[in-house]
Amino acid sequence: MVERVETMVRIPVEQRRRQLVAAAFTVIATRGLAATSARAVVAEAGMSLASFHYAFTSREELLEMLITEVTDGEQAAVLPQELAGKTLEELLIEGLTGYLEHLRADPLREQAMLELTQYAIRSQPELAQHQYRRYREIAAAALQLAASETGTRWQVPLGTVARLLVHVTDGLTLTWLVDRDDRAARDALAAAARALTALAAPEPPTAPEPSPQE
């Protein structure tokens, strides 16, 4: 009664989980989290519905793995490449411009990240916290590099500047996704770089002499 099925493929669970996660991210980016049903995901991955619940016990579990994997794989798209002979402000502008280009190149990706954050805030707060800790780590690394490379020093705790930088990139993302105004985004980004620069000051000489204040 059952026909010979020629397309049946046997794939180990781990690989299938990865495939489903990737497919899910694609669906979220293109059609939104609300439309990311189990059926839509398996359709995107080209497998049957049963494989979904063989690999994951629930949709929630898939999303959990998705968020974890995506935020851990998050790279510093912000790091400027040419460091030599630039001022801090120039470095910040380049870094932020790099982020804007990253955003412009693949807006759906950042939109998906945003939707996942919002989902996580409601459904898996720890995941959202982890995601933002990672963002801040990346920001802090970039800021520290920029400062040390230009012989400057942050006047405010690095973690605080990093937090502020994440605010800026988040805002940049949200606003640009809304209006797609490249020119305005670049202006705002330049202003942000200029403003952030005010939080740094030239580093005192390498061998710190006791200041003659007492």
Which residues sit at the interface with DNA, rule CB under 7 A? 1-2, 4-13, 16, 35-40, 47-55, 57-60
Using CB under 8 A as the binding rule, the residues of this chain from 181 to 210 that contact a copy of itself are 184, 187-188, 191-192, 194-199
Shortest spacing between CB 185 and a copy of itself, in angstroms? 8
- Specify the residue, 44 or 89, whose C-beta has the smaller distance to a copy of itself: 89
- Specify the residue, 53 or 134, whose C-beta has the smaller distance to a copy of itself: 134
Mark 32-71 with x for binding to a copy of itself (rule: CB under 8 A) and - for no binding. Answer: x-x-------------------------------------
Please choose, from the candidates 44, 43, 27, the residue with its C-alpha nearest in 3D space to the C-alpha of residue 35: 27
Partner that binds at residue 114, options a copy of itself, DNA, none, CB closer than 5 to 8 Å by kind: a copy of itself
- Specify the residue, 48 or 129, whose C-beta has the smaller distance to a copy of itself: 129
Find all residues with CB under 8 Å of 48, minimum gap 6, and list them.
42
Mark 115-134 with x for binding to a copy of itself (rule: CB under 8 A) and - for no binding. Answer: x-xx--xx--x--xx-xx--
Please choose, from the candidates 196, 183, 188, 187, the residue with its C-alpha nearest in 3D space to the C-alpha of residue 92: 196
| Residues binding a copy of itself (CB under 8 A) | 32, 34, 111, 114-115, 117-118, 121-122, 125, 128-129, 131-132, 156-157, 159-161, 163-164, 166-172, 174-175, 177-179, 184, 187-188, 191-192, 194-199
